[in-house]
Amino acid sequence: MPNNKSHKTLKIALIITILLIGGVTAWAAWVANHYKALIKDNLPNWVANATDDVYHVSLKDISINIITRRVTISGIRLWPDTVRVNELKESGKKTSITTLELEIPKVEINGIKWANIIANNEVGCGQVVLWNAEGVITQIPVLLDSAQKKVADSLKQRKKKAGVIKQFSVDEIRLVQSDIKFKSRTKDNDSFSFDMQRCNITLNDWLLKAGQKNDTSRFLFAKKGHVELDSFVYKKEGLLYNISTSKIDFETDKNSLVLNDLRIGPAVTKEAFYKAIGHQKEIYHLHFPSVAFVNMNWKKMINNNQLMADSVLLKDPNINVYLSRLLPPNKESKLGKYPHQLLHKLKLKTDIQCIKINNGKVAYEEVNDRTHREGDVKFEAVNGMVHNVTNIDSLVARNKICTIALHGKLYGKSDITATFKLLLPDTNGHFTMDGTLKNLDAEQITNTTKALALAEISSFHVSKMDMHVEGNQYEGSGNFTILYNDLKIILQKVDSSGEKRKLNDKPLISFLANNIVIYSDNPMKGDSVRSVSTYLKRDPQKSFFSLIWKNIFQGLEKTVVKNKQIEEMAKKKGKKEGFFKRLFGKKNK
């Protein structure tokens, strides 16, 4: 009997448990269906009210688990209301309008606070995960006129719809493996875009309140944000260059931004580039494997259009410049285009206290119009610092000098240093440059002099070269001391009789040059060291570096040539021969 009674009690308990589970399940299903209908019916209205009726939203399906407080939504689509966007354009409230079109295959919402939705008209949850979203952000200018005030006043009378959600709050929002495109058009009808692929964005403590003003301390309405992009590509209509990176990492709490594999280079071949330009112009290939902004003020960047950082670290930068002299010269004036003058004109207000360069490479390559050959100048193992990069007037008033201090290896062997000082507030672009070169040999430069000056340097050794150049956008002067020995040259001429141009030696004029015109050493045996001064008017069609380069070559010419009268006689003969003009009169840049 006791056993039967025990079995009966167990059976009753089991039945009650099953009924309770069934009841809870049925209740959960009923509540889930209720909330499913509630969300489906009210989501468009919630979004409309939260965005001032700018956006519509739709979804394909929704799954709700009351017990685990999880909601899964599939097929979400968000798009702007064109009528409302046009109203905003006409209102005169904004100088530009930014809209978003978004498609999200899957959204997972965890930890929903159901009670707050019912009691307080507040949507809150622990986590929102958006999978594989595709979005297009479009920014267009608004042209304002006086008639728009009436429209703006009428918009103030818009009535809020019933059932408005007071606020949305999420502990964490994650955007996973998503692609976003930004398109913009300026008032001048210029357009540009950039594509961000495989974005992973995390936003913590995200909060959006109805009618709230923009909180400049937050990033995309979040207290903390972390953005990772696998690919970024910038494009502009008519731009002959592409700008791209393979990875971007940005963290608000660390105030850090890192760009990996940043590349700026031509979007077309050299032939297509010059066909489009139609004249001589440098072609740049820039590669920065790592660009790291340290303690960057992202709030100033987003809210005030100001780029401010304690430092920028450039690791292994590689800069290549190519120029063909086979095309007509560029007649455009370059006045006002020195580096610090361009910085002053930059619309983006900038203050970078220090730029650190680690193990850089710089190469300049030029195709000569006579020889059709390429000559180059290469700097390797370039390290240095750039201090006080700013165009903010109050900061310039405190520190007027931008200093660039660099050291490296010319052609990978010869030690070279250069310190530039740029006077930031000077509208004429005053600058100074002090440099030193040590241990340069003929074999390092002879191929370049053959290509660009029709002269082979058969022997030459510079033990030390001290140089000082200063000037502005109108003129430049310098002081040079060049210590060298055993200078011997072989002058050449171009033979263009065949399909390919050849260089033939000119023994007689080479003999005269080596024995009559030039000094083989500085100092010559028994003589004192020769130091020279230079002065040049700046060609307004030539660059900042051209003025420095021409002063250097004038310094070389004055140091090497024995007698100016002999040189002038040679130059008159040189209208046919052209040596001194080629060797000492540096090609324009």
Please, are residues 231 and 197 in contact by the beta-carbon 8 Å criterion? Answer: yes
Q: What is the pLDDT of residue 12?
A: 53
DSSP code string of 71-97: EEEEEEEEEE-HHHHHHHHHHTS-SEE
CA distances to 42, 63, 105 from 37, rounded to whole Å, are: 8, 11, 20
Pairing of strands 191-209, 374-390: unpaired
In our burial notation (b when 16+ CB lie closer than 10 A, e otherwise), range 33-66 reads eebeeebeeebebbbbbbbebbbebebeebebeb
Task: Enumerate residue ranges in the chain where pLDDT < 70.
Answer: 1-39, 50, 91-96, 114-121, 141-165, 186-189, 210-214, 497-500, 563-589
Please, are residues 380 and 357 in contact by the beta-carbon 8 Å criterion? Answer: no
Q: What is the pLDDT of residue 281?
A: 93
- Span 76-92, pLDDT tens digits: 888 888 887 777 777 65
Angle CA 103–109–110, to nearest 5:
165
Angstrom distance (rounded) from CA 177 to CA 362 = 36
Q: What is the pLDDT of residue 487?
A: 94
| Segments in 329-468 forming alpha helices (H) | 339-345, 393-398, 442-453
Residue for token digits 């990772």? Answer: 228
pTM beyond cutoff 0.85: no
Q: What is the pLDDT of residue 4?
A: 58
Q: What is the pLDDT of residue 146?
A: 44
Q: What is the pLDDT of residue 121?
A: 67
| Segments in 212-335 forming alpha helices (H) | 270-277, 298-304
**What's the number of CA atoms in the CB half-sphere (13 Å) around residue 135?**
24
Please, are residues 226 and 220 in contact by the beta-carbon 8 Å criterion? Answer: no
Helix (H) or strand (E) holding 121: none
- State the greatest distance between any 2 C-alpha atoms of the chain, in Å, as a whole number: 137
CA distances to 189, 343, 345, 469, 559 from 424, rounded to whole Å, are: 32, 9, 11, 17, 33
